[in-house]
């Protein structure tokens, strides 16, 4: 039974919809005691998960129920911010009505960043500390994003992942959250939000903290959560364009060793041996790095707190760590940091970053608007004429095309599959049409009347 559920989730192409894109079936391991649904949505401006929890509560809970069964878990917990009042009420209502079968709870999070970081979330909601460099399953927990749970519920109905919920916000005329086919061009999404309200503009895919600047011609993938339009000269856009060489140069010239980057680092506050001020000191001194200064890069999750919030000079230990991580990967150096007996710092409760202060620090307070989920989703779907589906959209093996150019495909049909036994999920056609290209991305064009 459990294997059947896992295979159904794999075949539907379900991956973490919240950023990482890890294949969900591979997380469904025996031994999990708790399935924790991550509804924190802690990146400023994003609005997908809180609205799914409010409007698609039944499906999210159904997905959670499936995950609990697949893992043989004892409990399911939905963690979301207390400030998502309507969603909290709806989830509690359905659970109290018995929709959960009695084994589910709600945990209300504070309004801080990064409440949705897996290590932070598991500690906040369950009081468990995941070891350094470790996974939630090491403390008996499987974490799944809200939209991932929603997709698991659809998978049980035989419906693969062909659509994505995306918040389109920032400097657009009408911020919205939409459900669109995977593969639609970002520039087409901008039209759904009334178009950019500024010129020239730049686009961030993801949240303001962990997202990246993208070309609007790029497609929406299974992990796209937000599209944020900003004036091209917005300070955050300049920050997104910074590189590790610029970060090192700034560290050399102005780092004053105040330690704010270390004192506010969310992983450090959980007890991880991560001290970003030491890497900026090493860069500044020009001396050879000590081994522990280098390998602590493994513990950095690029949350952006050190550079976007903590450092008075805007120095980015994060970018320096990213560069070190690349070098360590090339040299195949394993992560030596695996401490499990971690003690959160006493000051932790006072050092969480309030979301509103973060918004102001990022210069985004003028863009803090609702982005309502558009009800008439089907009409949006019909307007899409072409989709571009990168073969690599998730962690694991890259699926290989199983259709050819010129072939007609139907929405939901498998168009690329991973080799047997490899970690990975198949890719499905997100619209019906004719295949125009198969690699490195698949292009499907709608022909005639649908
Ligand atoms: S916060 Fe900035 S100035 Fe202070 S130690 Fe860290 S990098 Fe240096
Ligand atoms: S980006 Fe900075 S604050 Fe975040 S985990 Fe890495 S070192 Fe810590």
Contact present, 279 and 293 (Cβ < 8 Å): yes
CA distances from 213 to 27, 186, 204 (A): 30, 12, 4
* Ligand 2 centre distance from Cα of residue 1 (Å): 41
Q: Which of 276, 295, 298, 315 to mutate to test the pocket of ligand 2 (most atoms within 8 A of CB)?
A: 276
Spatial distance between the Cα atoms of 155 and 11, rounded to a whole number of angstroms = 8
The atom number, within ligand 2, closest to the CA of 301 reads 5
* Ligand 1 centre distance from Cα of residue 339 (Å): 25
* Ligand 1 centre distance from Cα of residue 386 (Å): 47
Mean pLDDT per 10-residue segment, the chain (450 residues): 86 90 90 95 97 96 95 95 98 80 87 98 98 96 97 97 96 95 95 95 98 97 97 98 94 95 98 95 84 91 98 96 94 93 96 98 97 74 87 94 97 95 95 95 83
- β-pairing, 427-428 vs 433-437, is unpaired
Which-ligand-closest: CA of 253?
A: 1
Q: Which of 120, 251, 301, 352 to mutate to test the pocket of ligand 2 (most atoms within 8 A of CB)?
A: 301
Contact present, 182 and 430 (Cβ < 8 Å): yes
Contact present, 47 and 374 (Cβ < 8 Å): no
Spatial distance between the Cα atoms of 233 and 395, rounded to a whole number of angstroms = 33
What is the H or E stretch that residue 57 is in? helix 57-71
Q: 164, 190, 181: which is closest to 380 by C-alpha?
A: 181
- pLDDT in the model for residue 11: 96
- pLDDT in the model for residue 384: 87
- pLDDT in the model for residue 19: 75
CA geometry: angle at 122 spanning 271 and 340, to 5°?
40
Could you give all domains of the chain from N- to C-terminal order, each with its CATH number?
A: 2-156 (3.40.50.11540), 163-234+365-375 (3.10.20.600), 244-361 (no CATH), 385-445 (2.40.50.100)
DSSP secondary structure string, 239-286? HHT--HHHHHHHHHHH-----HHHHH-HHHHTT-S--HHHHHHHHHHT
Spatial distance between the Cα atoms of 394 and 19, rounded to a whole number of angstroms = 9
Spatial distance between the Cα atoms of 29 and 70, rounded to a whole number of angstroms = 8
Q: 9, 243, 3: which is closest to 148 by C-alpha?
A: 9
The dihedrals phi and psi of 226, each to the nearest 5 degrees, come to -145, 150
Q: Whose CA is nearest to atom 5 of ligand 2?
A: 300
Q: Does the C-beta of 306 come closer than 6 Å to ligand 2?
A: yes
Q: Whose CA is nearest to atom 4 of ligand 1?
A: 258
Contact present, 50 and 163 (Cβ < 8 Å): no
* Ligand 1 centre distance from Cα of residue 318 (Å): 12
* Ligand 1 centre distance from Cα of residue 312 (Å): 7
Q: Which residues lie closer than 8 Å to 421 by C-beta, 6 or more apart?
A: none
- pLDDT in the model for residue 98: 66
Q: 104, 112, 105: which is closest to 41 by C-alpha?
A: 112
Spatial distance between the Cα atoms of 450 and 431, rounded to a whole number of angstroms = 10
Structural tokens at position 108: 């209300």
């Amino acid at each position: 039974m459990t294997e059947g559920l896992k295979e159904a989730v794999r075949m539907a192409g379900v991956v973490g919809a919240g950023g990482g894109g890890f294949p969900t079936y591979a997380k469904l391991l025996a031994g999990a005691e708790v399935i924790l649904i991550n509804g924190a949505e802690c990146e400023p401006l994003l609005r997908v998960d809180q609205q799914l929890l409010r409007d698609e509560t039944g499906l999210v809970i159904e997905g959670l129920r499936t995950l609990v069964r697949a893992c043989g878990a004892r409990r399911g917990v939905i963690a979301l911010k207390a400030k998502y009042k309507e969603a909290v009420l709806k989830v509690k209502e359905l659970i109290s009505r018995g929709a959960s079968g009695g084994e589910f709870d709600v945990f209300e999070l504070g309004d801080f960043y990064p409440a949705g970081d897996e290590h932070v979330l598991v500690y906040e909601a369950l009081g468990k500390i995941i070891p350094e460099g470790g996974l939630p399953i090491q403390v008996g927990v499987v974490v799944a994003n809200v939209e991932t749970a929603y997709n698991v519920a659809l998978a049980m109905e035989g419906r693969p992942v062909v659509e994505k919920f995306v918040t389109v916000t920032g400097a657009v005329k009408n911020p919205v959250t939409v459900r669109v086919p995977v593969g639609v061009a970002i520039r087409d999404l901008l039209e759904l939000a009334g178009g950019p309200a500024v010129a020239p503009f730049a686009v961030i895919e993801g949240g303001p903290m962990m997202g990246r600047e993208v070309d609007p011609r790029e497609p929406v993938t299974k992990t796209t959560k937000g599209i944020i339009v900003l004036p091209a000269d917005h300070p955050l856009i300049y920050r997104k364009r910074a590189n590790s060489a610029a970060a090192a140069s700034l560290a050399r010239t102005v780092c004053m060793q105040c330690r704010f980057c270390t004192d506010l680092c969310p992983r450090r506050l959980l007890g991880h041996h991560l001290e970003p001020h030491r890497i900026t000191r090493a860069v500044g001194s020009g001396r050879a790095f000590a081994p522990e200064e280098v390998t602590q890069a493994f513990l950095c999750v690029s949350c952006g707190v050190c550079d976007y919030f903590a450092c008075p000079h805007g120095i980015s230990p994060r970018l320096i760590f990213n560069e070190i991580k690349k070098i360590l990967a090339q040299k195949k150096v394993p992560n030596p940091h695996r401490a499990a007996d971690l003690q959160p710092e006493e000051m932790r409760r006072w050092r969480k970053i309030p979301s509103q202060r973060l918004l102001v620090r990022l210069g985004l307070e003028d863009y803090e608007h609702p982005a309502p989920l558009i009800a008439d989703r089907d009409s949006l779907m019909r307007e899409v004429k072409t989709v571009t589906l990168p073969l690599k959209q998730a962690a694991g093996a890259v699926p290989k095309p199983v259709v050819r150019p010129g072939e007609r495909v139907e929405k939901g049909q498998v168009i690329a599959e991973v080799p047997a036994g490899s970690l990975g999920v198949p890719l499905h056609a997100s619209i019906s049409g004719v295949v125009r290209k198969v690699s490195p991305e698949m292009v499907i064009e709608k022909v005639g009347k649908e």
